[in-house]
A = this chain, B = another copy of it.
Amino acid sequence: MNYIKKRWVWILSLVMVMALVFVTPAFAQDGTPPSDEVVDLTLGINILWMIVGGFLVFFMQAGFALVETGFTRNKNVAHTMMMNMMVFCIGAVGYWLVGFAFQFGAVNAAFPAVSTVGAVGGEWAHSPITLGDWSGLLATPLIRFGQYGFLGGSGFLLGGLGANAGVLAFFLFQMVFMDTAATIPTGSMAERLKFVGFVFMSLWVSMIIYPIAGGWVWGGGWLQNLGRAAGLGNGAVDFAGSGVVHLIGGAIALAGAIVIGPRIGKFNKDGSANTIPGHNLSLGILGTIILFFGWFGFNPGSSLGFVGAFRNLAVIAAINTLMAGAAGGVSAMAYAWLVGPTKKPDPALSVNGILAGLVAITAPCAFVDTWAAVVIGLVSGVIVCWATALLDKLKIDDPVGAVPVHLFNGAWGVLAVGIFANGNPDTAAWNGVESAVTGLLYGGTTQILAQLAEVTSIFAFVFGLSYVFFKVLAAFKVLRVSREVELQGLDISEMGAVGYPVDWEPQDVDAPEVSKPGFSAHPATTD
């Protein structure tokens, strides 16, 4: 087995690994370490669960592509679809080159601090203990202030990591999460973003801004350490990334939408906003269901394991994801139907209500009761309706509602941990703090402060730098297409292809009868 490089290290860390893998009383009482076979089977189940989750998250790219394209116009179909397909390709390369190293290159840097469960030699390291032994890997910070990590510095091009199955699978899993963040701004800047500007944006997200901010919460960074080092609950707790993925993506989306400006005609001279419908509701709703499906990889998969207590967390995450997404959809549909603006069960708002519920439950999914998941979802469905109206008032044009869904509900989800986390004992030792994750309703008074720190610091950092980044793109004239191209649609000029070409027909043949698109000669039953 490749991942057992040095047998002595393995033996040393076995107790550590097992301590959390089998935190149950039943097993703890035995006292004897599990056999090699049991360790191997445990790793098999844990890594299988996580990597299948990663595949599902990858598939969410199809959902984003369809939602964004379905809710934008015919004349920009090729451009919007291509952004969604290529953001993954470009991002994968960027993340492999430097992103992963920035985000997780110091995840195992041992801090001279509180000794907790999982500690080797009295120090704390964060690499997911469910995925096998990573001792000595990913332990080189580039920037660190005392106990507060800021930027990782090993694992560039996956170098120096060997063929450690746990680390490689973790890379794949993190890569598709980064991709989710990177695809969000393509929605808020759709129908006017230059394709070359999109390429730069993809590199910006995958190589720089996402890895840095994401590392603060998941890579052993300073937000994660606010519990151990500053006494704020368990530090910033974000199970699957309401903050890391969605708030980051949403903050970039907001900066982009502001800098690039609204689409021609979105706002009237009197300040009122026009509705610009998308071209294909079937694709938009198909994309929504695909996103919901993929979210079952996103949230439950973030347990990074399925043996022992990690299985409990995964299953709770699955149920809560289900209920919050459903509740968000019901809530937004009811709001639109009863309150407005259309007084009908509006499809577009229902779509965004579902997505809002899913975004909001992403951070708290493993920490809250089912009823709390329903409440979180119901609230998020209203938030998304309000935020959509708010953006119109602020004259910010966000064609697919990326900001209401991901920024507003990402923030709501991070804060919800600090309110609803129920102190489930399975979450003890989270981020190296011995107590379980506990929110306001259950007597945890400081967790909400760590959550507030995550929301404010990530938003300020990501929004601020991305605003500057987009200003630079604009200065170099690679951000927004010309007025002519925008009115004509970006497809012909930017992509050299349209979404739905009419049938090409040979010109020089004496065609007996050429078909017409849409011609209906269907004599058969359609049942």
Known contacts A370-B158, A371-B157, A527-B388; is-contact A289 B85 (Cβ 8 Å): yes
Minimum C-beta distance from A225 to chain B (A): 28
Whether A499 contacts B51 by the Cβ 8 Å rule is no
Q: Indicate whether A316 sits within 8 Å of B265 (C-beta atoms), given known contacts A65-B286, A285-B82, A518-B500.
A: no
CB distance from A339 to the nearest CB of B (A): 13
| Chain B CB within 10 Å, residue with most, of A30, A55, A312 | A55
Partner of A274, one of B75, B77, B497, B504: B504
Bitwise interface map of A from 44 to 71 toward B, beta carbon under 8 Å scored 1, else 0: 1101110110111011011001100101
Pairwise interchain contact B7-A27, C-beta atoms closer than 8 A:
no
Main secondary structure of the interface of A (DSSP, over half): helix
A510-522 contact mask (Cβ, 8 Å, vs B): 1 or 0: 0111110111111
Given contacts A7-B26, A315-B168, A527-B352, contact A93 B374 (CB under 8 A): yes
Q: Is the CB of B501 within 8 A of A278?
A: yes
A278: chain B residues within 8 A (beta carbon) = 501, 526
14 residue pairs bridging A and B, Cβ less than 8 Å apart: A2-B312, A34-B37, A66-B286, A81-B282, A82-B345, A89-B330, A172-B318, A172-B322, A274-B504, A279-B503, A391-B527, A496-B524, A498-B518, A501-B520
Contact mask for chain A residues 321-332; partner B; CB cutoff 8 A; 1 contact, 0 none:
011011101100
Interface membership of A434, Cβ < 8 A: no
Give 17 new A-B contacts, CB below 8 A, not counting A40-B308, A195-B345.
Answer: A1-B24, A2-B309, A4-B25, A27-B37, A52-B52, A62-B290, A73-B503, A82-B347, A86-B330, A158-B319, A163-B426, A168-B318, A265-B506, A346-B496, A488-B512, A492-B521, A502-B519
Q: Is the CB of B524 within 8 A of A92?
A: no
CB contact list, A228-282 vs B, under 8 A: 264-265, 274-282
Contact B330 A508 (CB under 8 A): no
Let me know if A350 is at the binding interface, CB within 8 A: yes
User: Residues of B contacting A524 with CB < 8 Å?
Assistant: 275, 277, 336, 341-342, 344, 346, 348-349, 496-497
CB-nearest residue of chain B relative to A324? B92
Whole-angstrom CA separation of A363 from B468 in the bound complex: 45
Quick check: A344 and B498 within 8 Å, CB to CB?
Answer: no
Is residue A300 within 8 Å, beta carbon to beta carbon, of the partner chain?
Answer: yes
Residues in B with CB closer than 8 Å to A89 are 325-327, 329-330, 333, 354
Q: List the 3 shortest-distance A-B pairs measured between CB atoms, nearest first.
A: A265-B506, A401-B527, A1-B24
